[in-house]
Amino acid sequence: MSDRRYSAVLLFGMPGSGKGTQGQLLGKLQGIFHLSTGAIFRSLVDDSDDGRLVSDCIRHGQLVADDLTIEIWKHWLDAHIETGDFHPEDQILLLDGIPRTVRQCELLKDHVDVLQVISLSASDTEPIIQRLRQRALIEGRADDADEAVIRNRFEVYRRETTPLLNFYSPALVHEIDPMGTPAEVLKRILEHLIPVIVTARGSAAEFGGDEITPDDAE
């Protein structure tokens, strides 16, 4: 595996914040390569080397270890470079779903330079609770229908994510209000993200958002 370090932005989001939607929208921008660790794990098959390693952990009732998580993530990153999907010279990594622990933060330091941390989080969670309950009605998601379960998920998120945000300099961390339309939230993110991309990759003329159409952000 390459020892090169890559410029990266981290994307965090509390349950119901729309993190998945924003990750997909941001991934359409020229200059950004969106890499979701959740998508990586969901795509693993048992007959692959990575799939066998993860399956072995699960069979033994173990969580996937931090070192193994980073190793699998790095395998996929290297594969995207080899196939030409990710161009390190022209793109910044948008990391979604990693790191999940302080140990992973430490391990990532060997592979990425974190330029910014975007955190979709609201101090008033009542509107998000209503959003999740509405989603439960539309999509039939039982986990979003129980308010007690939702509130517990918020507490777990805060407990697990706060140490990660504190790991990075406050100057790098930006709390973004996740309420509103996807387009409104995207605009808030880009107000912080565009200057970082322009500084890291060149002039404003080299940064394009034409890949996102109005329909994409509805």
This prediction has a pTM of 0.85
Rounded CA gap, 36 and 25, in Å? 13
Query: Which is nearest to 210 in space by CA: 28, 20, 24?
Result: 28
Cα separations (Å) of 193 from 91, 98, 202? Answer: 13, 18, 14
Residue that has been written with the tokens 């007959």 in this structure: 47
Per-residue model confidence (pLDDT) at position 131: 86
For residue range 142-163, list pLDDT tens digits in order: 767 788 888 888 998 999 999 9
Per-residue model confidence (pLDDT) at position 53: 77
> Structure tokens of 158?
């805060």
Q: Are 170 and 116 in contact (CB under 8 A)?
A: no
Query: Which is nearest to 32 in space by CA: 51, 7, 56?
Result: 7
- Chain centre distance of CA 65: 19
Complete domains list, the chain, with CATH:
6-206 (3.40.50.300)
> Structure tokens of 37?
């660790």
Per-residue model confidence (pLDDT) at position 40: 84
Query: Which is nearest to 164 in space by CA: 93, 77, 110, 106?
Result: 106
The per-residue pLDDT string of the chain (218 residues; one tens digit each, 9 = 90 and over) reads: 457 899 999 999 999 999 999 999 999 998 899 999 888 877 776 667 777 777 777 666 666 789 989 998 999 999 999 999 999 998 999 999 999 999 999 999 999 999 999 999 988 889 999 888 888 887 777 767 788 888 888 998 999 999 999 999 999 999 999 999 999 999 999 999 999 888 887 654 455 555 554 455 55
Per-residue model confidence (pLDDT) at position 149: 86
Backbone angles phi, psi at 214, to 5 degrees: -55, -35
Per-residue model confidence (pLDDT) at position 45: 65
